[in-house]
Amino acid sequence: MLRIARPLARTLPFLVLPLLPAATPTPPDDSHLWLEEVQGERALSWVRERNAQSLGELEAAPEFAPLRDRLLGILDSRARIPYVARRGDHYYNLWQDAAHPRGLWRRTTLAEYRKAEPAWETVLDLDALARAEGENWVWKGSSWLEPELDRCLISLSRGGADAVVVREFDPRAKAFVADGFKLPEAKTQVAWRDRDHLYVGTDFGPGSLTDSGYARQAKLWRRGTPLTAATLVFEGRSTDVSASVYTTVEPGFRREFARRGTTFFTAEHFLGRDGKFERLNLPADVRLGTWREHLLVTLRKDWTVGGRTFPAGALLTMPWERFLAGERDFAILFAPGPREALAGYSITRGHILINTLANVRSRILVATPRPGGGWDRAPLPGVEFGNATASGEDDASDAFWLQADDFLTPPSLFRGEIGRGAPELLRQLPAFFAAAPLQFTQHEAVSADGTRIPYFQVARKDLAADGRNPTLLYGYGGFQISQTPNHRAGMGAAWLEQGGVFVLANLRGGGEFGPGWHQAALKDRRQRAYDDFIAVAEDLVRRKVTSPRHLGIQGGSNGGLLVGAVMVQRPDLFRAVVCQVPLLDMRRYHRLLAGASWMAEYGDPDKADEWAYIARYSPYHNVRPGVTYPRLLLTTSTRDDRVHPGHARKMAARMLEQGHPVLYYENIEGGHGGAADNRQLARMQALAYAFLLRELR
């Protein structure tokens, strides 16, 4: 689902960009190690052979071409909502369609945006740029010089990889700045210090990266000098995940921070004062934010400080001045309940918008400081939606954007101003599939340890409880990422309209009920996420929604690990598996690309006691000959430089070697998202749905 182009919170950028894999000894039992050579000719020859076989089978299916064309029509539809981000007097949008597959970066005014057909001014044509430069550019975002807003840094990726080229751009002249800042292709972290200086973390050469492949050093780079002359201002250790320096700019306030990411979920935070970065006395597992004169802290664990204990999942605040003076009388902006969690927050000029989940349904609060001290909290007026996200338009006004939808209701975009009544509806996506015969319901399954696991079901109102309904179960269960009932137009058209049932599982490891829900499935407790998924599948069979003959599962990335693990643990429970850009070799995951940064989630397989529990679920190490497994479709991307394509390649090779039915498709570009443009995405989705329809009906 497309998102409003504005972060929910002013917090440290959440780093997910990997670098090159570290060297590692070859495990003696891994005969498929050669498939980790991403661009190796032998490996690519194997990929081309597998692709030809899979495409020959799936694209010949009668469902494929109509599905592909319909999905592409949805992705390219001009009726889509053009989400915008405000920069000064303009509202910017990246638009992709059939005529502009790479995209138009364009802008308009609020008065125009309110019209049904706004007049847009093109700022940068990515397709024209790619043709002129002979590059396959994919947009990766912009970072603006504030408060001037007359310069920005544009990040461009070759083929959708996480590695980017960064160039300075003049949005007024609509042109790249001659002799401006320019960084070569790398997994770069960059922030403006001022007009003539950047804070840069990148590959500066030997010793500049962590074992996870992220920048270990941050340097100050002055305009007009070579990058080699940049001055070191902050660094972490090689065993850290990353180190970075960034700035926050709000009306009347400017701050500089440094962050030493010790693990994926922990960090040391530093504030720039008097030319130095001073460490802040905060727990390592908090997330730090700032709003004008206020410090904002999100807790992942209980914190006892100042004579009080604050619960995990709480959002706290206090004035920076008092915090730096040693006081700790935090105010609680949000405290979680048994089935209530913080989903994020966003700021306006005078308020903080707090997005929460109550039993996996959205609630939005407005927190406002009182003139004499303390805070008021109230629901956002006029908002009653199952799935909604509110975000401030900018720091200089109290305007906000509200996006609302659910499984069967297309997204609507509202704009409002806090204190001025209900928000105004500006856009609504048309219905791309027939939702009238459908309904969605919420259910609970009981996991192996007795924990109740919620899940959503989308199906026909007259669904027969005969165990014969083709059913697709989707899950993720990791990294405190919540799965919410948002609209999926492509799934509705390609699956629900074809008579399928869609099920979304809210597994432990996610963030649906706060940090505790996530931490319940960390490391040696990982099996709980898989038990939860199995419990949902069994509950669907118990309720006679479906049966193993008609039940398929799908997941990507960490979700690919999920479906791979349950496939080898319970092959009797499923008929088909769609496993996308997955982790599967958990013995070597930490040696490939960004894998080392995820050891706080999974554990360190080089430690015997941790490998002992990882080995019990690692799909690559648990698939066996002589077992009847569900039919498997594995997809990945050659250009995925986050989760190594070797995971999917090796799993397919091992299963084929053992005589199991496997289809494998690797897109040559597309990055971790699997596709670089709408046409590629439509093809990838159509392959998956054609496979599922054929296997499960």
Please name the residues in contact with 173: beta carbons below 8 A apart, sequence gap of 6 or more.
none
Predicted model pTM: 0.90
pLDDT value at residue 7: 31
Mark which of 240, 263, 280 sits at the end of a domain. 280
pLDDT value at residue 676: 66
What are 260-273's pLDDT values in tens digits? 999 999 999 999 99
Mark which of 245, 280, 315 sits at the end of a domain. 280
> Do 68 and 97 lie in a common domain?
no
What's the CA gap between 109 and 104, in Å, rounded? 16
DSSP 3-state of 181: coil
Res 685 pLDDT > 60: yes
> Do 65 and 179 lie in a common domain?
no
Span 353-362, average pLDDT: 95
Residue 202 lies in a domain: yes
pLDDT value at residue 20: 30
Residue 372 lies in a domain: no
> Do 48 and 177 lie in a common domain?
no
Residue 338 lies in a domain: no
- Number of independent structural domains in the chain: 2
> Do 131 and 59 lie in a common domain?
no
The chain-wide mean pLDDT, for the chain, equals 92
Residue 655's pLDDT band, with cuts at 50, 70 and 90, is: very high
Residue 673's pLDDT band, with cuts at 50, 70 and 90, is: low
Span 44-52, average pLDDT: 96
Q: What is the CATH number of the domain that holds 683?
A: 3.40.50.1820
> Do 596 and 552 lie in a common domain?
yes
Provide the residue range defining the domain that includes 590.
Answer: 43-73+433-696
Mark which of 249, 280, 311 sits at the end of a domain. 280
> Do 171 and 264 lie in a common domain?
yes
What are 193-218's pLDDT values in tens digits? 999 999 999 999 999 988 888 899 99
What angle, rounded to 10 degrees, do the helices at 678-696 and 41-58 form?
Answer: 60
Q: What is the CATH number of the domain that holds 226?
A: 2.130.10.120
Residue 642 lies in a domain: yes
Residue 675's pLDDT band, with cuts at 50, 70 and 90, is: low
Cα three-residue angle 28-31-32, rounded to 5 degrees: 130
> Do 493 and 558 lie in a common domain?
yes
Alpha helices in 97-217 (DSSP H): 110-113, 126-133
> Do 62 and 92 lie in a common domain?
no
Residue 309 lies in a domain: no
Range from 137-146, 375-384, 572-581 carrying the lowest mean pLDDT: 375-384
Q: Please, are residues 530 and 475 in contact by the beta-carbon 8 Å criterion?
A: no
What are 485-511's pLDDT values in tens digits? 999 999 999 999 999 999 999 999 999
Q: Please, are residues 632 and 579 in contact by the beta-carbon 8 Å criterion?
A: yes
The proportion of the chain whose per-residue pLDDT surpasses 70, expressed as a percent, equals 94
Residue 592 lies in a domain: yes
Res 3 pLDDT > 50: no
Residue 668's pLDDT band, with cuts at 50, 70 and 90, is: confident
| Residues that are catalytic | 557, 672
Res 16 pLDDT > 70: no
Long-range contacts of 270-277 (CB under 8 A, 24+ apart): 270/234, 271/324, 272/245, 277/233, 277/234, 277/245
Residue 672's pLDDT band, with cuts at 50, 70 and 90, is: low
Res 650 pLDDT > 50: yes
CA 298 to chain centre: 19
Span 511-519, average pLDDT: 96
> Do 553 and 582 lie in a common domain?
yes
pLDDT value at residue 521: 98
Complete DSSP assignment for 248-259: EEETTEEEEEEE
> Do 110 and 67 lie in a common domain?
no
What's the CA gap between 685 and 432, in Å, rounded? 16
pLDDT value at residue 674: 54
Residue 386's pLDDT band, with cuts at 50, 70 and 90, is: confident
